[in-house]
């Protein structure tokens, strides 16, 4: 039995879009100049996501879940990194940890542990 991962990705995208809201990840690029200096340039990466609470099963996926941590299931055009800021539900959170749901090298979504 073959699994159609493209169809699975489409279902995940539709569920996140139908039930989620806009999220905005703050990413940084570094620009090298001819004089040897480097500038840090902030840019925003927009996507869709659903914020929820952690359950008991999530403690196996993430190491240190604190009381005010939240779980963000999102689709973003690029992979998030630990320490980046993301705005969801009108709150700016910091990415503590994340898991890339990535069967067959097709990124379906990201599950982020976020902390205010």
- What are 25-35's pLDDT values in tens digits? 999 989 999 99
- Mean pLDDT score of the chain: 92
How deeply is 45 buried, as exposed, middle or buried, from its count of CB atoms within 10 A (0-12, 13-18, 19+)? middle
pTM of the model: 0.87
When computed from its CA atoms, the radius of gyration of the chain, rounded to whole angstroms, is: 16
**What is the C-alpha to C-alpha distance for residues 82 and 64, in angstroms, rounded to an integer?**
14
* Tokens standing for residue 89: 């539900």
**pLDDT range class, residue 97, cuts 50, 70, 90:** very high
Which pLDDT does position 1 carry in this prediction?
A: 66
pLDDT of residue 60: 83
How far apart (Å, rounded) are the C-alpha atoms in residues 4 and 9?
9
DSSP-derived secondary structure letter, 16: H
pLDDT of residue 31: 92
| Percentage above 70 pLDDT, the chain | 99
């Amino acid at each position: 039995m073959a699994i159609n991962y493209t169809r699975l990705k489409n279902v995940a995208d539709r569920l996140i879009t139908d039930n989620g809201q806009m999220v905005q990840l703050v990413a940084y690029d570094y620009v090298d100049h001819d004089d040897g200096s480097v500038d840090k340039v902030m840019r925003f990466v927009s996507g869709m996501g659903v914020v929820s609470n952690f359950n008991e099963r999530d403690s196996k996926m993430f190491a240190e879940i604190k009381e005010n941590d939240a779980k963000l299931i999102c689709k973003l055009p690029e992979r998030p990194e630990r320490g980046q800021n993301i705005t969801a539900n009108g709150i700016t959170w910091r990415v503590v940890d994340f898991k890339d749901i990535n069967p067959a090298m097709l990124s379906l979504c990201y599950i982020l542990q976020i902390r205010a």
